[in-house]
Amino acid sequence: MTISEIVQRSDTIPGRMFDLTVIVLILVSVVTASIETLPNLTPDIRSILSWSEIAIVGLFTIEYGLRVGTAPRKLRYVLSFHGIVDVAAILPFYLTLGGVDLRALRVLQLFRIVRVLKLSRYSVAMARFGKAMALAKEEIVLFACVAIALLYLSAAGIWYFEHEAQPEAFASILHSLWWATATLTTVGYGDVYPVTVGGRLFTFVILMCGLGIVAVPAGLVAAALSRVRQEETQSGS
Protein backbone atom coordinates (compact mmCIF):
# COMPACT_ATOMS: atom_id res chain seq x y z
CA MET A 1 0.00 0.00 0.00
CA THR A 2 2.01 3.04 -1.22
CA ILE A 3 1.11 6.70 -0.50
CA SER A 4 0.19 7.12 -4.16
CA GLU A 5 -2.55 4.49 -3.80
CA ILE A 6 -3.90 6.17 -0.66
CA VAL A 7 -4.04 9.63 -2.25
CA GLN A 8 -5.11 8.80 -5.79
CA ARG A 9 -7.54 5.90 -5.35
CA SER A 10 -10.97 5.91 -3.71
CA ASP A 11 -11.75 2.17 -4.03
CA THR A 12 -9.44 1.05 -1.17
CA ILE A 13 -10.13 1.39 2.56
CA PRO A 14 -7.13 3.72 3.17
CA GLY A 15 -8.10 5.73 0.06
CA ARG A 16 -11.63 6.21 1.36
CA MET A 17 -10.28 7.17 4.79
CA PHE A 18 -8.07 9.81 3.16
CA ASP A 19 -10.96 11.26 1.11
CA LEU A 20 -13.23 11.29 4.17
CA THR A 21 -10.59 13.13 6.23
CA VAL A 22 -10.29 15.79 3.52
CA ILE A 23 -14.09 16.24 3.37
CA VAL A 24 -14.29 16.62 7.16
CA LEU A 25 -11.45 19.18 7.10
CA ILE A 26 -13.24 21.12 4.35
CA LEU A 27 -16.50 21.22 6.33
CA VAL A 28 -14.64 22.28 9.51
CA SER A 29 -12.85 25.07 7.66
CA VAL A 30 -16.10 26.27 6.04
CA VAL A 31 -17.82 26.40 9.42
CA THR A 32 -14.91 28.28 11.03
CA ALA A 33 -14.88 30.67 8.05
CA SER A 34 -18.52 31.58 8.74
CA ILE A 35 -18.08 31.73 12.53
CA GLU A 36 -15.23 34.19 12.00
CA THR A 37 -17.72 36.60 10.41
CA LEU A 38 -19.76 36.74 13.63
CA PRO A 39 -19.62 40.19 15.22
CA ASN A 40 -18.24 40.80 18.79
CA LEU A 41 -16.36 37.51 19.25
CA THR A 42 -14.06 37.27 22.31
CA PRO A 43 -10.29 37.50 21.57
CA ASP A 44 -9.90 33.91 22.86
CA ILE A 45 -12.34 32.53 20.27
CA ARG A 46 -10.72 34.67 17.57
CA SER A 47 -7.31 33.16 18.36
CA ILE A 48 -8.73 29.62 18.43
CA LEU A 49 -10.35 30.21 15.02
CA SER A 50 -7.17 31.65 13.51
CA TRP A 51 -5.06 28.77 14.89
CA SER A 52 -7.53 26.19 13.55
CA GLU A 53 -7.38 28.00 10.20
CA ILE A 54 -3.58 27.81 10.16
CA ALA A 55 -3.73 24.10 11.03
CA ILE A 56 -6.29 23.33 8.31
CA VAL A 57 -4.44 25.32 5.66
CA GLY A 58 -1.27 23.47 6.67
CA LEU A 59 -2.98 20.11 6.19
CA PHE A 60 -4.43 21.23 2.84
CA THR A 61 -0.93 22.31 1.77
CA ILE A 62 0.41 18.85 2.62
CA GLU A 63 -2.55 17.28 0.77
CA TYR A 64 -1.82 19.43 -2.30
CA GLY A 65 1.86 18.43 -2.14
CA LEU A 66 0.91 14.73 -1.98
CA ARG A 67 -1.52 15.11 -4.92
CA VAL A 68 1.11 16.81 -7.08
CA GLY A 69 3.78 14.32 -5.98
CA THR A 70 1.67 11.23 -6.65
CA ALA A 71 -0.03 12.51 -9.81
CA PRO A 72 0.95 10.35 -12.83
CA ARG A 73 1.11 13.51 -14.99
CA LYS A 74 1.95 16.39 -12.61
CA LEU A 75 1.46 19.41 -14.92
CA ARG A 76 -1.85 18.04 -16.18
CA TYR A 77 -3.18 17.80 -12.58
CA VAL A 78 -1.92 21.30 -11.67
CA LEU A 79 -3.77 22.79 -14.65
CA SER A 80 -6.88 20.60 -14.19
CA PHE A 81 -10.10 21.96 -12.63
CA HIS A 82 -9.49 20.09 -9.37
CA GLY A 83 -5.86 21.19 -9.29
CA ILE A 84 -6.86 24.84 -9.58
CA VAL A 85 -9.61 24.43 -6.96
CA ASP A 86 -7.09 22.83 -4.59
CA VAL A 87 -4.75 25.81 -4.96
CA ALA A 88 -7.65 28.26 -4.69
CA ALA A 89 -8.45 26.64 -1.32
CA ILE A 90 -5.02 27.42 0.22
CA LEU A 91 -3.66 30.36 -1.80
CA PRO A 92 -5.87 33.06 -0.19
CA PHE A 93 -4.39 32.33 3.24
CA TYR A 94 -0.79 32.77 2.06
CA LEU A 95 -1.71 35.89 0.08
CA THR A 96 -3.23 37.47 3.22
CA LEU A 97 0.01 36.81 5.19
CA GLY A 98 1.51 39.77 3.32
CA GLY A 99 -0.24 42.69 5.10
CA VAL A 100 -3.51 43.43 3.32
CA ASP A 101 -6.27 45.69 4.65
CA LEU A 102 -9.34 44.13 6.27
CA ARG A 103 -11.66 44.94 3.36
CA ALA A 104 -9.61 42.77 1.00
CA LEU A 105 -9.44 40.05 3.66
CA ARG A 106 -13.22 39.86 3.75
CA VAL A 107 -13.28 39.31 -0.02
CA LEU A 108 -10.87 36.41 0.41
CA GLN A 109 -13.28 34.77 2.87
CA LEU A 110 -15.40 34.09 -0.17
CA PHE A 111 -12.62 32.17 -1.91
CA ARG A 112 -12.20 29.92 1.14
CA ILE A 113 -15.71 28.61 0.41
CA VAL A 114 -14.44 27.32 -2.94
CA ARG A 115 -13.29 24.34 -0.87
CA VAL A 116 -16.90 23.21 -0.80
CA LEU A 117 -16.67 22.69 -4.55
CA LYS A 118 -14.04 20.03 -3.92
CA LEU A 119 -16.80 17.87 -2.50
CA SER A 120 -18.17 17.62 -6.02
CA ARG A 121 -15.22 15.38 -6.94
CA TYR A 122 -16.58 12.68 -4.63
CA SER A 123 -19.93 12.50 -6.36
CA VAL A 124 -20.59 9.97 -9.15
CA ALA A 125 -24.16 11.00 -10.02
CA MET A 126 -22.58 14.26 -11.25
CA ALA A 127 -21.72 12.51 -14.53
CA ARG A 128 -25.37 11.61 -15.17
CA PHE A 129 -26.35 15.20 -14.46
CA GLY A 130 -23.73 16.33 -16.98
CA LYS A 131 -25.25 14.03 -19.62
CA ALA A 132 -28.74 15.40 -18.89
CA MET A 133 -27.51 18.98 -19.21
CA ALA A 134 -25.88 18.10 -22.56
CA LEU A 135 -29.20 16.61 -23.73
CA ALA A 136 -31.26 19.67 -22.80
CA LYS A 137 -28.46 22.21 -23.45
CA GLU A 138 -30.03 23.96 -26.45
CA GLU A 139 -33.41 24.45 -24.75
CA ILE A 140 -31.82 25.67 -21.52
CA VAL A 141 -29.69 28.23 -23.40
CA LEU A 142 -32.74 29.35 -25.38
CA PHE A 143 -34.88 29.69 -22.25
CA ALA A 144 -32.07 31.54 -20.48
CA CYS A 145 -31.93 34.07 -23.36
CA VAL A 146 -35.73 34.43 -23.45
CA ALA A 147 -35.82 34.81 -19.65
CA ILE A 148 -33.24 37.62 -19.73
CA ALA A 149 -35.07 39.35 -22.62
CA LEU A 150 -38.33 39.02 -20.68
CA LEU A 151 -36.66 40.42 -17.55
CA TYR A 152 -35.55 43.45 -19.56
CA LEU A 153 -38.98 43.92 -21.16
CA SER A 154 -40.65 43.65 -17.73
CA ALA A 155 -38.28 46.22 -16.27
CA ALA A 156 -38.89 48.61 -19.17
CA GLY A 157 -42.67 48.13 -18.98
CA ILE A 158 -42.96 48.56 -15.23
CA TRP A 159 -40.66 51.60 -15.40
CA TYR A 160 -43.00 53.20 -17.92
CA PHE A 161 -46.09 52.52 -15.78
CA GLU A 162 -44.66 53.18 -12.31
CA HIS A 163 -41.75 55.62 -12.46
CA GLU A 164 -44.04 58.63 -12.07
CA ALA A 165 -45.97 57.16 -9.14
CA GLN A 166 -42.81 55.82 -7.46
CA PRO A 167 -39.82 57.83 -8.70
CA GLU A 168 -37.64 56.25 -6.01
CA ALA A 169 -38.26 52.51 -6.55
CA PHE A 170 -38.56 52.73 -10.35
CA ALA A 171 -36.05 55.51 -11.02
CA SER A 172 -34.90 53.92 -14.31
CA ILE A 173 -35.13 50.70 -16.32
CA LEU A 174 -31.93 49.57 -14.60
CA HIS A 175 -33.52 50.17 -11.19
CA SER A 176 -36.67 48.35 -12.32
CA LEU A 177 -34.62 45.23 -13.12
CA TRP A 178 -34.54 44.54 -9.37
CA TRP A 179 -38.34 44.44 -9.30
CA ALA A 180 -38.37 42.23 -12.42
CA THR A 181 -35.96 39.75 -10.80
CA ALA A 182 -37.90 39.53 -7.52
CA THR A 183 -41.23 39.18 -9.39
CA LEU A 184 -40.46 36.71 -12.22
CA THR A 185 -38.66 34.40 -9.79
CA THR A 186 -41.80 34.70 -7.58
CA VAL A 187 -39.61 35.64 -4.61
CA GLY A 188 -41.64 38.83 -4.15
CA TYR A 189 -39.81 40.45 -1.24
CA GLY A 190 -42.39 43.21 -1.18
CA ASP A 191 -39.88 46.06 -1.03
CA VAL A 192 -41.01 47.25 -4.49
CA TYR A 193 -44.35 46.51 -6.14
CA PRO A 194 -46.62 48.32 -8.63
CA VAL A 195 -49.30 50.61 -7.21
CA THR A 196 -50.90 51.97 -10.41
CA VAL A 197 -53.66 50.10 -12.24
CA GLY A 198 -51.55 50.00 -15.41
CA GLY A 199 -48.56 48.63 -13.55
CA ARG A 200 -50.63 45.91 -11.91
CA LEU A 201 -52.25 44.81 -15.17
CA PHE A 202 -48.78 44.75 -16.75
CA THR A 203 -47.51 42.63 -13.83
CA PHE A 204 -50.42 40.21 -14.32
CA VAL A 205 -49.68 39.80 -18.05
CA ILE A 206 -45.91 39.44 -17.49
CA LEU A 207 -46.41 36.83 -14.75
CA MET A 208 -48.82 34.79 -16.91
CA CYS A 209 -46.20 34.64 -19.69
CA GLY A 210 -43.12 34.62 -17.49
CA LEU A 211 -43.77 31.90 -14.91
CA GLY A 212 -43.52 29.19 -17.54
CA ILE A 213 -40.31 30.57 -19.02
CA VAL A 214 -38.68 30.52 -15.58
CA ALA A 215 -40.16 27.13 -14.53
CA VAL A 216 -39.73 25.13 -17.77
CA PRO A 217 -35.89 24.69 -17.66
CA ALA A 218 -36.11 22.88 -14.30
CA GLY A 219 -38.69 20.53 -15.82
CA LEU A 220 -36.45 19.98 -18.85
CA VAL A 221 -33.49 19.00 -16.66
CA ALA A 222 -35.68 16.64 -14.64
CA ALA A 223 -37.06 15.01 -17.80
CA ALA A 224 -33.58 14.67 -19.31
CA LEU A 225 -32.18 13.20 -16.08
CA SER A 226 -34.89 10.55 -15.82
CA ARG A 227 -34.37 9.69 -19.50
CA VAL A 228 -30.59 9.28 -19.04
CA ARG A 229 -31.25 6.98 -16.07
CA GLN A 230 -33.78 5.00 -18.14
CA GLU A 231 -31.27 4.51 -20.99
CA GLU A 232 -28.60 3.38 -18.50
CA THR A 233 -30.91 0.78 -16.94
CA GLN A 234 -31.91 -0.49 -20.41
CA SER A 235 -28.31 -0.73 -21.64
CA GLY A 236 -27.40 -2.24 -18.24
CA SER A 237 -29.99 -5.02 -18.53
Residues 73-132 that bind a second copy (CB under 8 A): 106-107, 109-110, 113, 116-117, 119, 123-126, 128-129
Binding to a second copy by residue 23, rule CB under 8 A? no
Instruction: For residue 18, count CB atoms less than 10 angstroms from its CB and return exposed for 0-12, middle for 13-18, buried for 19 or more.
Output: buried
Q: Which of 35, 71, 84, 91 binds a second copy (CB under 8 A)?
A: 35
Q: Which of 22, 163, 166, 169 binds a second copy (CB under 8 A)?
A: 163
Closest distance of CB 34 from a second copy, Å: 4
Binding to a second copy by residue 39, rule CB under 8 A? yes
Residues in contact with 87: Cβ distance below 8 Å, sequence separation at least 6, in sequence order: 64, 78
- Backbone φ and ψ of 83, nearest 5°: -60, -45
Please state, in angstroms and rounded to a whole number, the distance separating the CA atoms of residues 150 and 41.
Answer: 46
Binding to a second copy by residue 24, rule CB under 8 A? no
DSSP state of 97: H
Asked if residues 90 and 61 have their Cβ atoms less than 8 Å apart, the reply is yes
Q: Which of 2, 37, 42, 235 binds a second copy (CB under 8 A)?
A: 37
Please state, in angstroms and rounded to a whole number, the distance separating the CA atoms of residues 76 and 68.
Answer: 10
Q: Which stretch binds a second copy (CB under 8 A): 14-22, 37-45, 54-62, 69-77?
A: 37-45
Closest distance of CB 189 from a second copy, Å: 4
